[in-house]
Amino acid sequence: MNPQNVARDRLVRLTDLPNIGEAIAGDLRLIGIREPRQLEGRTAEEMYLDLCRVTGKRQDPCVLDVFMSLQHFMEGGEPLPWWHFTAKRKQRSLPAGGKGT
């Protein structure tokens, strides 16, 4: 969902979350996340590594940006576009399993 349209009091489906469309919702389901509350306590890196492991391939680094936006939001931050997190991700190396950028 577009971050501007997110309402914390209406988080029922994964696609109710900022930056989550059907494709990323499907990726989240692959790692066992089926509803927004299951994101609580999960880190972006953990979710990214889980997705790399489950799919058997390195995911696009932008997926980590999306997961960073989710972690930020679930920790009480405002809903921001996923690309807001790109510079922060580039300042650190990708987790093992997400080799290179």
98, part of any domain: no
Residue 99 clears pLDDT 60, i.e. is over it: no
4 pLDDT band (50/70/90 cuts)?
confident
d(CA 55, CA 53): 6
* Domain coverage including residue 63: 3-90
Q: What average pLDDT does the chain have?
A: 91
DSSP code, position 19? T
Residue with tokens 């997705």: 51
| The total number of structural domains that make up the chain | 1
53 within a domain of the structure (yes/no) = yes
- Report yes or no on 57 lying in a domain: yes
Query: Does a structural domain hold residue 12?
Result: yes
pLDDT tens digits along 47-56: 999 999 999 9
Instruction: Decide if 99 is inside a domain.
Output: no
